[in-house]
Amino acid sequence: KNEVEQSPQNLTAQEGEFITINCSYSVGISALHWLQQHPGGGIVSLFMLSSGKKKHGRLIATINIQEKHSSLHITASHPRDSAVYICAVGGGSQGNLIFGKGTKLSVKP
Amino acid sequence: NAGVTQTPKFQVLKTGQSMTLQCAQDMNHEYMSWYRQDPGMGLRLIHYSVGAGITDQGEVPNGYNVSRSTTEDFPLRLLSAAPSQTSVYFCASRHGGENTEAFFGQGTRLTVV
């Protein structure tokens, strides 16, 4: 069993839709990271959280430590949100990150 | 503020050739790491360093060497390239400690033929 599971693997949405990407993990963690990777591009950190909820613009990340689950929400989605969203948890040896396989989001105009 | 600078962006190697992927950060981060990204898999840790002069193996270290002579630089060396090393490579850095934000380079797309 993978230590970090993301769902869905692929997601297609229409512009303006509310989007949810889920991340479940099976290990004890110190923090959870949400990352964004545009096609052919680098990886950018969106959020790092260890409890509760964080909001940045149209993006909201939540985490439930007891249930070992996090969600990334995108409100009023836009084609420029099209990217791969990666969940990673910190807590491995030396605080190394363990990554999910990513969720590929495509937002159609 | 340059952040994490990774070079080259693209590289094609012949089997058996060697090369070095460069990674430099200007944020005085203690922790640096190298990952490879392959289709259908999450990023996998190759090697990491918690400070100058200290390196350790990650999940997939075979075929790769690293060194950390300065805080800023963390090069990744492929000693004898193999087709199985065709991948996208990312360097990352962060401050020491567990709850710190990670910063990534732009990636190197390596093809070994």
> Residues B33-84: pLDDT tens digits?
999 999 888 899 999 999 999 999 999 999 999 999 999 999 999 999 999 9
To the nearest 10°, the Cα dihedral for A63, A72, A86, B29? -60
CA A102 to CA A10: how far, in whole Å? 9
**Partner-chain residue, chosen from A2, A50, A86, that has the shortest CB–CB distance to B99:** A50
Q: What's the gap in Å between the CA of A17 and the closest CA on chain B?
A: 26
Of A67, A81, A95, the C-alpha closest to A17 is A81
CA B38 to CA A8: how far, in whole Å? 18
CA A56 to CA A30: how far, in whole Å? 21
Cα angle for residues A61, A106, A64 (degrees, 5° grid): 20
Chain segment A80-97, per-residue pLDDT in tens? 999 999 999 986 667 788
Q: Which residues in chain A have their CB less than 8 angstroms from residue B106's CB? A: 41-42
- pLDDT attached to residue A18: 98
CA B88 to CA B41: how far, in whole Å? 12
- pLDDT attached to residue A36: 97
CB contact under 8 A, A48 and B43: no
Q: What's the gap in Å between the CA of B105 and the closest CA on chain A?
A: 6
- pLDDT attached to residue B57: 96
